[in-house]
Amino acid sequence: MAECGASGSGSSGDSLDKSITLPPDEIFRNLENAKRFAIDIGGSLTKLAYYSTVQHKVAKVRSFDHSDKDTEQDHEPPYEISVQEEVTARLHFVKFENTYIEACLDFIKDHLVNTETKVIQATGGGAYKFKDLIEEKLQLKVDKEDVMTCLIKGCNFVLKNIPQEAFVYQKGSNPEFRFQTHQPSVFPYLLVSVGSGVSIVKVETEDRFEWIGGSSIGGGTFWGLGALLTKTKSFDELLHLASRGQHANVDMLVQDIYGGAHQTLGLSGNLIASSFGKSATADTEFSKEDMAKSLLHMISNDIGQLACLYAKLHCLDRVYFGGFFIRGHPVTMRTITYSINFFSKGEVQALFLRHEGYLGAIGAFLKGAEQDNPNQYSWEENYAGSSGLMSSSPELCPTQRARSGTFDLLEMDRLERPLVNLPLLLDPSSYVPDTVDLTDDALARKYWLTCFEEALDGVVKRAVASQPGSVDAAERAEKFRQKYWDKLQTLRYQPFAYGTLTVRSLLDTREHCLNEFNFPDPYSKVKQKDNGVALKCFQRVIHSLDALGWEERQLALVKGLLAGNVFDWGAKAVSDVLESDPQFGFEEAKRKLQERPWLVDSYSNWLQRLKGPPHKCALIFADNSGVDVILGVFPFVRELLSRGTEVILACNSGPALNDVTYSESLIVAERIAAMDPVVRSALREERLLLTRTGSSSPCLDLSRLDKGLAVLVRERGADLVVIEGMGRAVHTNYHAALRCESLKLAVIKNSWLAERLGGRLFSVIFKYEVPAE
C-alpha cells in the first residue's frame, strides 16, 4: 500500500556502484549554495531534492539623472543598461538508481560547501535501509517523513505549478499523450498509488486528504507472482515479457465459454471471463510471455475496477495514477487506461503525471521547508534544466540510452510573485493558451522545429554580440547552442517530453536555455536603441494623428499598432530585413501591411463600437520595444485615455526577445509623459497604470499572470482586453474566450503560418470580439 518498499532486489542489486563519475555541470548543479535536502528512496530509484540559489546576470535599465536639464541631446540613449547579478531560488531534483546512492552521497559531500543544513527529510520504503549511510556520509540527521503525506504534497505542488503536468495516455492514437489543461482548482481528486500494493487516497484540499481504500494486488503482486511464474527476476524484464505475450492463451475469454455466440448476444468475445482460467484446465506448458501478459492484464484490470468503484462512491471523476507500477511504463499506462475506460464506461479518466516519480521527493522537501512557506510562491518548470518525460525510457525512445545509469533531472524556478488566472477568462477550466498543438499536428511540428533550428545561428550570433566585453561569451553561446539543439532533437522524437509541444514552449525553452548560459537579455542594447529612435519620432507621429479627422484617426491608430508590430526580432522574416536594412522605417512597415479587407477583419465593428460610450478600462498587453510600443501602442493608449477610458498597460516581467519589459515600459512612459500632457496627467492621476504580466515569454498564458495585474483588472473593472503581436494573439490566445470585449491584432510575419491561415506574409489579423449575451 505504500510506495514500493521492496526489500527484495530486482533490476537493482544491493551492491553499490562506486565507479560512476558524475558530470558536475549537469547533475547536482548549484550544490555550493544548496540548503535543505530531501530524499525519497524507492525500491529501485532514489530521488534527491535540494533547494539552491542561482546567480544570474540580469540586464537592469535605469533612467539617467535628468537634473542637469541636458536630456534632449540627440545622440544619447534614453536610459542606461547595467548588467547585475541577481540571485534566484531554484529547486533541484535528481533521480538515479539506488546502486549509485553511495557515489552520489560522496559527491554531494564533496561539493557541499557552506550549508547550515542539519537535517535531511527522507521518505520512501528505502529511507530506513539507507538511514545510516546517509547520516554517515552527509553528517545530516535523517528525519523520516510519512510516504503518503509526501506523495500528496508533491502531487498538489506539481498540479498547481506545472500547467501541463497531467496527461491521458492512449496507445495507438495520435498523439499518444494528451495533456490536460491547467485547472484553476485541482481539488478534489483521487490519487491511486500503485506501489507494491495499492493505496487510494481522496485529496480534498492542500492539507486534507483521506485514505479511502486500497488493494493488496499491485506492483508487488505483478513482480512477485511474475517472478514465480516466469523465473524472471526484474520488474522491467517482466514488463518486457508481458509486452510480447498473448494473454488469450492463458486467460479464459468470453468467447471460450460462449463459443461464437457472443456476437449475437452483444458480448465482447475478447473480454476476460477468468484470468488464468485456461491454465486450470490444460496440462500444457505456457510461455513466459503469455503468463506475464495475463498477469499484467489481471492486475491492471483489478486496479482500474477498484479505482472506478472508489471514484463512483466518492463522486470523483479525476483519478491520477502513480507508483512504480505505472512510472514511465507505456505498457501499464495502457492497460490501466483500458481498464478505467471499460469499468467506468468512459466516465472516469485515468490521468498520469509527467513528474510522478518526483512526487515523494517534492513532498518531503516541502515538509522540511514548511517554515519558508514554499506554497506561497509560484514555481515554474525550467525547461533547460529538466530532462523531460521518459528521457530514459528505452520502450518509447530507442534513440535514448538504456535506462541503466541515467540521471533524470527536474528543476523548478521560484517566481518572484504568485501567478493567477486573468479574472476575465470566460471559462478558466477550458482555457487553452496555445492555438496549435504541435504534438497533434505533425506537419506543423516539423515546420516549427526546423524553423527554430534554422534560427539558432542567428540567436547565437546575437547572444555573443550582446556581450561584447565578455571573454567567454562565445563559449557560453556555443553551450547554449548545443543545449537548445539537443532539446530540439529530443522534441523531434518525443514531442510530449515537456507537455504539449507548442510554439510557445519552443520559445520559452529557448529563453530558459539562454538564461542558463547567462544571456539574460541579448536584445537589451537593441531595445535601448530602438526605444531611443522611436521616442524621437513620438511627437511627430502624434501631431500627424491629431491632424486627422476622428474616423481617419481611428484607422491610422490601428494601422500604427499593426505597423509597429512588424518590428519584431522574434520573427525570422523580419529580423532578416532589420539586420540587412536598418533604415527600414515605420512608414515602410505601413506600406508592407496588407490592404483592407484584412485576413481577419472586424475593424468596421470596432469603429462602430468606438462611436458608442467609452470603455471603462482597457487592459493592453504590449509586445515589442521601440516603434511598436512607442509609436503603435502609446498613441492608441492616448486615444483611449482621451475618450475617458482608463488603461492598464501590461508588459513582461522579464526579458524575452525584443519584447518590452515592465522596467523598460516605466522609463518609456516617463519619457513620453515628459513630451505629452495627456499621458502625463493620466499617469499622475493613475488613469494609466503600468504593470507586469508575471511572464518572461514572448507568448502569453492568461492562466498564469501576476497577481497584481489580476487585482488591478478587478479593481478597475476592465471591460476591454487588447492583445497585440503574433506571439500573444496568434500563437497563443487566438481562440481565447473572454468575458469582456477583446481586440486581438497581429501581423503575420511568417510566410508558412500566413499560408496556413489562408493569407500571405504581412497579412493582418484584426479580431474584435464581443462576448455573447
Neighbours of 550 (CB within 10 A): 10
Quick one: which of 33, 46, 164, 196 contacts another protein (CB under 8 A)? 196
**Which range, of 103-111, 214-222, 501-509, 764-772, touches another protein by CB under 8 A?**
214-222
Strands 705-706 and 419-420 come out as: antiparallel
Quick one: which of 34, 89, 148, 761 contacts another protein (CB under 8 A)? 148
Strands 741-747 and 419-420 come out as: unpaired
List Cα–Cα distances, 102 to 16, 22, 107, 131, 620, in angstroms: 7, 12, 9, 12, 54
Site string for another protein, 72-111 (x = CB under 8 A): ----------------------------------------
The yes or no reply on residue 221 touching another protein (CB under 8 A) is: yes
Quick one: which of 111, 129, 137, 312 contacts another protein (CB under 8 A)? 312
Are 390 and 349 a contacting pair, CB within 8 Å? no
The yes or no reply on residue 447 touching another protein (CB under 8 A) is: no
Binding to another protein (CB under 8 A) within 24-43 occurs at 43
Binding to another protein (CB under 8 A) within 290-309 occurs at 291, 298, 301-302, 305-306, 309
The yes or no reply on residue 197 touching another protein (CB under 8 A) is: yes
Which residues have CB under 8 Å from 453's CB, separation 6+? 485, 488
Are 447 and 755 a contacting pair, CB within 8 Å? no
**Cα gap 763→754, rounded to integer Å:** 7
**Which range, of 53-61, 191-199, 390-398, 610-618, touches another protein by CB under 8 A?**
191-199
Binding to another protein (CB under 8 A) within 253-292 occurs at 254, 256-262, 265, 271-281, 283, 286, 291
**Cα gap 109→124, rounded to integer Å:** 22
Give the shortest CB-406-to-another protein separation in angstroms: 23
**Cα gap 480→462, rounded to integer Å:** 12
Binding to another protein (CB under 8 A) within 149-188 occurs at 149
Sign of CA dihedral 598, 602, 605, 609: negative
Q: Which is nearer to another protein, 217 or 607 (CB)?
A: 217
Give the shortest CB-210-to-another protein separation in angstroms: 9
Q: Sheet of 35-41: strands edge to edge?
A: 141-144, 119-123, 35-41, 45-62, 80-97, 408-414, 379-381
Give the shortest CB-44-to-another protein separation in angstroms: 10
The yes or no reply on residue 550 touching another protein (CB under 8 A) is: no
Give the shortest CB-326-to-another protein separation in angstroms: 15
**Cα gap 574→568, rounded to integer Å:** 6
The yes or no reply on residue 229 touching another protein (CB under 8 A) is: yes
Give the shortest CB-311-to-another protein separation in angstroms: 10
The yes or no reply on residue 474 touching another protein (CB under 8 A) is: no
Q: Which is nearer to another protein, 220 or 655 (CB)?
A: 220
The yes or no reply on residue 722 touching another protein (CB under 8 A) is: no
- Residue 63: what residue type? S
Give the shortest CB-189-to-another protein separation in angstroms: 18
The yes or no reply on residue 146 touching another protein (CB under 8 A) is: yes
Distance of CA 112 to the CA centre of its chain: 30
Binding to another protein (CB under 8 A) within 125-144 occurs at 125
**Cα gap 105→83, rounded to integer Å:** 36
List Cα–Cα distances, 731 to 432, 650, 763, in angstroms: 11, 18, 15
Alpha helices, DSSP H, located in 75-146: 101-111, 131-138
Are 720 and 650 a contacting pair, CB within 8 Å? no
Could you list the residues that contact another protein (CB under 8 A)?
A: 1-2, 5-10, 43, 125, 146, 148-149, 195-197, 199, 211, 213-221, 223-225, 227-229, 233, 250-252, 254, 256-262, 265, 271-281, 283, 286, 291, 298, 301-302, 305-306, 309-310, 312-313, 343
